[in-house]
A and B are shown apart, each in its own frame.
Chain A
């Protein structure tokens, strides 16, 4: 049998089967009305689900057969820089060629631009599969949010010119936000955009840094369009099609993801097209891009973790010490169990998050089309989906990337000394995963993004729904335990909300976010046990592992001890 990274992964297949996209697809496929106009459009829900399996199956085979075997080579060779020109490693070019031949680009674009019109939730499964094979390639394939933003806010002429090229895989995209002095604080961006009033042409001047896949032909650049402004409200988003006014000055020499060129770019009077409205560059469009990119990075971390787990699993079967394979040793078994259960919990959270993002997007579009005529029920559903998407996105980014780092660490432990050596894949995975909880917003920033929503009790309706559902009789203990932990979470939210000092809230926010992740994951795994017998041991192991951690975090948050903050002032003065 050939290697296939979708067909060899029963958990990922279960996620696709269990992903309920009826409501999303009814709207997204406009009542399945496109089947007559486009041969690739589904006739009904079952047909659409079958298409998703096709897409993941083809991608899984390419990744298993063609991409993964050359991942070490892609890492070793890396992207090249030579006098302003950046080229991918040979293995990366071959991977792109295969993805193009399989017509896998344009995943989320509508069919009128040659796209596959896939939901975000399915696309993130694709990103996981790609990242498992070669995590650097994910930054070429996994940035399709860029095309989606152009589709959403671009003018018709730009869309007609640019989007079909994305769909054919002729061009890739880059999100050009960061500058030397504007990293986490993007409001400080200083690249200037000036409008020639007579011709109506915008031009960009400035230097951008740490730009992932900066060699892209089509970039979205955040720049200061309002002269004299100093904050986020003076920034707009621009589309740049690369020409010789765009100079790549260097690429970074990084710890990992060597196949992905990280560029420093200089714009000199570069012609640019305004995307959407002026002054909304950061607050609307960059945030929109980053929300999608955060899901993609979560999927990337998940894919790397899956690869690491498989390396550890395999090694622990082959490596014999004390006369037996090391996996039978409880200390090693403990590491493997932790990895496996964490992976499946995170995959469940990513799929659930993707579903709410999909719902948000389809209702956003429905509202835009209906305008002020929109049905209040649609408005309410839109609002609910938005709140949950905005809560769960930073949570899953935090959860998946911290998990990915933990799993790679544990997988290296299973390998022992050889895992530290270049010859073993875990050494590369360990380096590659490290960036995931840094870029697209560090884990610390994800906490900032999530905490406000959690304090507004945004998860309560979801938690109440799960708590009220029926579960198998032999999962009653876990059900009761999760209900108890959910109560503790509610108390912790109340305690943190009641704190008068902002600093103390910020200090203990991470504990609350982690509690929320554990509890949500616990319910999601419990929900799986209603349809999949094999999920029962997973749910049991997960709930058993998180219960003491939730209690401990609750104790920390309920106390919200001011001592550490005081210590910071004294000790770190």
Chain B
């Protein structure tokens, strides 16, 4: 039975540096990352969460809203969300959010989700490829006071206000049922995120935050003024709303650096260098000995 009730879903997304493609000049001498050397991408597992949300909407109807907290250029992943099926996007950006740890981030997300109001599901990727903490989703659920299902791999059914989910765990899988509203964190094996739709991208390519209007008007000079562009975007539902700390009612001590109790104790800078090398003779005996040694050292096998 398909639950006929439409569902309102909020997806949490993050723009991250593309740490899967780290090249030589990315790491600095003191062990921190030169963010400018890496392109900014949609956090991969957040794309899995968006895909799962869009599939639920295709089945049950309803809405998919994507929120991201980040710098002004995080609007890029919001546009991408629109092209991949999200119906509505919101950018949380404010200088005062800067330096947030997972606690301050989840607090801001809680406030933003509460400002949205009605929701049945909150979905996020399991973890981001920059911080790799996997904490923001669970912390947000705690702050919202709703149950959470982490490591969600597939939605088996939604009926009577409850969702049944299969979780992918190291030791196997687990099927759980949970009252909605609840929060899901989604793993990468859940699905293959759909490509952006060319029709949606063509129709929604001008979607922008007010901070982007000047550049956009320069790119499309047929809009003679920023006001003319704004009017066009308004008429075509292409304005991306921007919420600040004040908009969501977050106080200074709960957000940004001030709201972040996490302190980095120490950074270990590990340099991987090739050490000694050995040449193995191209004979069956020598290769067999090498394989035996690798197995003995637990390097293979």
Check A40/B202 contact, CB under 8 A, given A1-B21, A1-B39: yes
CA distance A102 to B197 in the complex (A): 4
A54/B198 in contact, CB under 8 A = yes
* B residues near A40, Cβ cutoff 8 Å: 199, 202-203
* Residue among A51, A66, A101 with the highest chain B CB neighbour number at 10 A: A101
B194/A102 in contact, CB under 8 A = yes
B203/A102 in contact, CB under 8 A = no
Q: Would you give the shortest CB distance from B62 to chain A, in whole angstroms?
A: 20
Q: Is A43 an interface residue (CB 8 A)?
A: yes
A58/B236 in contact, CB under 8 A = no
A58/B194 in contact, CB under 8 A = no
Q: Would you give the shortest CB distance from B17 to chain A, in whole angstroms?
A: 13
Give A41-77 as 1s and 0s: 1 = Cβ < 8 Å from B's Cβ atoms.
Answer: 0011011001100110011011000100000000000
Contact residue among A47, A66, A103 (Cβ-Cβ distance under 8 Å from B198): A103
* B residues near A43, Cβ cutoff 8 Å: 222
Interface of chain A, main secondary structure: helix
CA distance A101 to B194 in the complex (A): 6
* B residues near A50, Cβ cutoff 8 Å: 205
* B residues near A44, Cβ cutoff 8 Å: 222
Interface of chain B, main secondary structure: loop
Chain B count of residues within 8 A CB distance of the other chain: 18
Q: Would you give the shortest CB distance from B37 to chain A, in whole angstroms?
A: 13
Q: Would you give the shortest CB distance from B47 to chain A, in whole angstroms?
A: 12
CA distance A43 to B228 in the complex (A): 15
B194/A51 in contact, CB under 8 A = no
* Residue among B39, B195, B196 with the highest chain A CB neighbour number at 10 A: B195
Contact residue among B195, B204, B236 (Cβ-Cβ distance under 8 Å from A102): B195
A61/B202 in contact, CB under 8 A = no
* A residues near B18, Cβ cutoff 8 Å: 1
* A residues near B203, Cβ cutoff 8 Å: 39-40
Instruction: Kindly identify, within residues 176 to 210 of chain B, every residue whose CB is under 8 Å from any CB belonging to chain A.
Output: 194-205
Q: Which residue of A lies closest to B199 (CB)?
A: A103
Contact residue among B195, B204, B220, B222 (Cβ-Cβ distance under 8 Å from A58): B195
* Residue among B197, B202, B203 with the highest chain A CB neighbour number at 10 A: B202
A58/B196 in contact, CB under 8 A = yes
Instruction: Kindly identify, within residues 12 to 31 of chain B, every residue whose CB is under 8 Å from any CB belonging to chain A.
Output: 18, 21
B236/A39 in contact, CB under 8 A = yes
* A residues near B236, Cβ cutoff 8 Å: 39
* A residues near B220, Cβ cutoff 8 Å: 46-47
* B residues near A61, Cβ cutoff 8 Å: 195
CA distance A61 to B203 in the complex (A): 19
Instruction: Kindly identify, within residues 71 to 101 of chain A, every residue whose CB is under 8 Å from any CB belonging to chain B.
Output: 98, 101
CA distance A480 to B113 in the complex (A): 70
* Residue among A1, A40, A50 with the highest chain B CB neighbour number at 10 A: A40
B205/A54 in contact, CB under 8 A = yes
Q: Would you give the shortest CB distance from B42 to chain A, in whole angstroms?
A: 11
Q: Is A116 an interface residue (CB 8 A)?
A: yes
Q: Which residue of A lies closest to B202 (CB)?
A: A40
* A residues near B21, Cβ cutoff 8 Å: 1
Q: Is A512 an interface residue (CB 8 A)?
A: no
Q: Would you give the shortest CB distance from B36 to chain A, in whole angstroms?
A: 15
Q: Which residue of B lies closest to A104 (CB)?
A: B198
Interface residues in chain A, defined as those with a beta carbon under 8 Å from any beta carbon in chain B = 1, 39-40, 43-44, 46-47, 50-51, 54-55, 58-59, 61-62, 66, 98, 101-104, 116
Given contacts A58-B196, A61-B195, A103-B197, 17 further A-B contacts (CB under 8 A): A1-B18, A39-B204, A39-B236, A43-B222, A46-B222, A58-B195, A58-B197, A58-B198, A66-B195, A98-B194, A98-B195, A103-B198, A103-B199, A103-B200, A104-B198, A116-B198, A116-B199
Interface residues in chain B, defined as those with a beta carbon under 8 Å from any beta carbon in chain A = 18, 21, 39, 194-205, 220, 222, 236
Complex A-B: 9 CB contacts under 8 Å: A1-B18, A39-B203, A39-B236, A40-B199, A40-B202, A40-B203, A54-B202, A58-B196, A103-B199
Pairs of residues from A and B, 5 with the lowest C-beta to C-beta distance, nearest first: A39-B203, A101-B194, A102-B195, A103-B199, A40-B202
